[in-house]
Structure 1
Amino acid sequence: MRSPASDGSVWARLPHELGDAVRPRIPEIARACVDGIAAEIPEYSGSFGRGPTRVAAIEQTRRGIERDIDRVGTPALWQADRLAEFRGHGREAFHNGLSREAAQAAVRVSSRVTWRWIADIAREAGLSGDVLYGAAEGMFADVETSMAAISEGYRAAEAAMTGTGERHRRLLRALLGGRTPAEVDGLIAASGLPVPARLAAVAFRALPGAPEFPPGLLPEHVPADPSGDPPAALTPAPDPDLAGLVGLPAGWTAAVGPLVPPAAVPESFRVARRALELSARGLLDNPGPVVWCRDHLTTLLLLADEFLVSQLASATLAPLSGLPERRREQLAETLLALVRTRGSAPELGRLLELHPQTVRARLKKLGELFGSRLDDPGERLRMELALLAERALPGGE
């Protein structure tokens, strides 16, 4: 039961020689860790002392130590899947009838045993005291973060058994459904959550055949029902609370709506669901499984009503209709730069990477097509919106 680092920068500063020296000894260290846990913690003595459970514990410990040693000399931050793993240890301890204190003590014992081995190996390899100090610093940080994750998973399992999970789901449904403030306040009080000033709604989408939502990706205090109807979650602190969603398996996508007062949660959820829809159609550029609506507000606004925005584009850009496709693209590109910057031909040329004479020819043609509309601020705004919407719409540039 080894712990991951809460801050990989400590491990990243250690020399590769430390990892090279420790790696061949990891199977021995893992056995020593399990023996130490069995000897010092009565709740583990029976299961870790013999049989298949001992073999499985040694293998799990070996993998954990390998992952830790792989961070030596390699810049890396705490991984969300490792957080989830230690929350899982906490839930597993609860369901196996172990105490939370015993599960946390196992982390301390394992870390202490591992540290003794690493210290001896480092001295044998002739590594400096600074290396030993750095390894100790990294391991102590690991212990604290791992124990907190175990506690969180343990409490989550307790909550599910005592009905807190169900109260959280009721709160989630009430807020998404726009229930009255009095009803919501009562459910917040019953859930045990502090009354949040603002909340972000999270919408989930799973493709047919996708695996079940993995446990442990969301902290226990987040009201969530990712497999419900509709699949959703709520959080007052999206960035830390949703960090684990980077571990969503293939086929799953999540969209995080804007932070809003509790009464406006249905709107946050509506925006998040719209973002999921646009992302599925390839109209939002997001590199991972999580779509943050705050990064796509302009596109979400432009495509809030695709029929109206297409009407705006058709009416506003009518002078460009009938032109050959390539010519229309060139003039639309120049028109967007013009209405955005009101720049001169040389300025637009630098922006578009074109010769000023080419830009002058295009500006002359645009003047013929749009006339005095190019000097009207209101018309220029409509042109900019229409051109941006045209790019964002299916079939746009």
Structure 2
Amino acid sequence: MRGPVAPDASVWSRLPSELGDAVRPRIAEIARACIDAIAAEIPEYSARFGGGAGREAAIERARRGIERDIDRVGTPAMWQADRLAEFRGHGREAFHSGVSREAVQAAVRVSSRVTWRWIADIAREAGLSSDVLYGAAEGMFADVETSMAAVAEGYSAAEAAVSGTGERHRRLLRALIGGRTPAEVDGLVAASGLPVPSRVAAVAFRALPGAPEFPPDLLPEHVPADPSGDPPAALTPAPDTDLAGLRALPPGWTAAVGPLVAPAEAPESFRIARRAIDLAARGLLDVPGPVIWCRDHMTTLLLLADEFLVAQLASTTLAPLAEVTGKRREQLAETLLALVRTRGSAPELGRQLDLHPQTIRARLKKLGELFGERLDDPGERLRLELALLAERVLPGEE
């Protein structure tokens, strides 16, 4: 299930920005040279890139790709999910255009070789050191390996879709998240040819009415996925790398990534992911973007696993606060939470809450009157902490 991992751009990030500045004005020339070399050396591309609109389109695509790669020079390290998605697209396009897998991979090698020669010459002309040349060579060679792997992956995925393997993969996805018996899963694994890793994370999707279709290149081809299915889902053993493209989900789409679990527990991972989507839709999870990582919200997910039960816990455990209302109640609840968490003194709590110790002492006196010996009991303190945390996330509560 795991495909090629996008290379860390740290090699490029260590190169001086002067290299990018020197290469950037020559990118159009480099792109033309790449396409000319591909047409001259690879017979399957000779007619396609020999002239006319096909040649111009290829040059423009090469120009954009080189420009994107040069933009990595001197920039912070990042995962190149968009880059690999583009090369997977090249592989799919080659398959549907009748170009062989070997030819499209050869095109990657030729283009990389020509680009490297130009970059090396430009670097020397600019007086850059041999260390810069070595660094650029290291980055280029790493890119060639991962680019060719991504091309092969896209090509294989296109073949699989035509041969029906893609459908078998989707059936395996359904079996794993649906909790089918081990015997059924084993049969589907054998039919799909897809190895099942030791740990997987389920992904749930939700699209609002009117949202655009799920973009085809956001997920690597090796990830079993059906974002528009019933239910919409995906499964991956490497969520941090495989799901990097989900940052570009279009408006109206949300994805939730469940915890990493053994394959037999994939239904639980998927259940938690769907629960996270539901809570986010109700505004009960603070999520800055379109992707919800359940691992970042475990406390809230646990507290809201049974909203009725946790509401009862909050209501009964915090009953002594019922005689206090408004701002005063908020202040006492804030101090109570700090107290049961830390068992700190008035000066310590004052520093934590940025309040004068005398203010804290007054609040502690009131809390002592309300809760008495419960504040000294470890089990009661745990109940109070859970109740106070639950009160913060319960819908309709202030």
Residues 207 and 328 of structure 1: is their aligned pair in 2 closer, same or farther, counting only changes over 3 Å? same
Give the TM-score of the pair, scaled to structure 2: 0.94
SS of match in other structure, 1:86: helix
Residues 232 and 317 of structure 1: is their aligned pair in 2 closer, same or farther, counting only changes over 3 Å? same
SS of match in other structure, 1:257: strand
- Structure 1 distance, partners of 2:388, 2:305, is 16
Q: Which residue does 1:41 correspond to in 2?
A: 42
Offset, 1:244: 2.6
In structure 2, the gaps of 5 or more residues are 1-5
Q: Which residue does 1:208 correspond to in 2?
A: 209
1:341-360 equivalences in 2 (<5 Å): 341-360=342-361
Q: Which residue does 1:79 correspond to in 2?
A: 80
> Are 2:39 and 2:49, in contact at CA under 8 Å, matched by a contact in 1?
yes
Offset, 1:292: 1.5
Offset, 1:99: 0.9
1:282-301 equivalences in 2 (<5 Å): 282-301=283-302
Q: Which residue does 2:279 correspond to in 1?
A: 278
1:113-132 equivalences in 2 (<5 Å): 113-132=114-133
2:156 is matched by which residue type in structure 1? Answer: R
Aligned-residue Cα RMSD (Å) equals 1.8
Mean Cα displacement is larger for which, 258-267 or 381-390? 258-267
- Structure 2 distance, partners of 1:265, 1:70, is 39
- Structure 2 distance, partners of 1:321, 1:155, is 64
- Structure 2 distance, partners of 1:78, 1:105, is 24
Offset, 1:135: 1.7
Mean Cα displacement is larger for which, 304-313 or 222-231? 304-313
- Structure 1 distance, partners of 2:64, 2:378, is 64
1:1-397 equivalences in 2 (<5 Å): 6-396=7-397
The number of residues matched between the two structures is 394
1:310 is matched by which residue type in structure 2? Answer: A
> Are 1:153 and 1:216, in contact at CA under 8 Å, matched by a contact in 2?
no
Offset, 1:371: 1.8
> Are 2:8 and 2:80, in contact at CA under 8 Å, matched by a contact in 1?
no
Mean Cα displacement is larger for which, 51-60 or 236-245? 236-245
SS of match in other structure, 2:316: helix
Q: Deviations over 1:290-341 (max 9, x none)?
A: 2121221111010111122112111111211242310000000011111112
1:350 is matched by which residue type in structure 2? Answer: R
Residues 197 and 12 of structure 1: is their aligned pair in 2 closer, same or farther, counting only changes over 3 Å? closer
Offset, 1:126: 2.3
Residues 129 and 261 of structure 1: is their aligned pair in 2 closer, same or farther, counting only changes over 3 Å? closer
SS of match in other structure, 2:216: coil
Residues 30 and 195 of structure 1: is their aligned pair in 2 closer, same or farther, counting only changes over 3 Å? closer
Offset, 1:191: 1.4
Residues 69 and 261 of structure 1: is their aligned pair in 2 closer, same or farther, counting only changes over 3 Å? closer
1:250 is matched by which residue type in structure 2? Answer: P
Mean Cα displacement is larger for which, 113-122 or 43-52? 113-122
SS of match in other structure, 1:156: helix
- Structure 2 distance, partners of 1:67, 1:7, is 15
Q: Percent identity?
A: 85
2:40 is matched by which residue type in structure 1? Answer: A
Offset, 1:151: 0.9
Offset, 1:164: 1.1
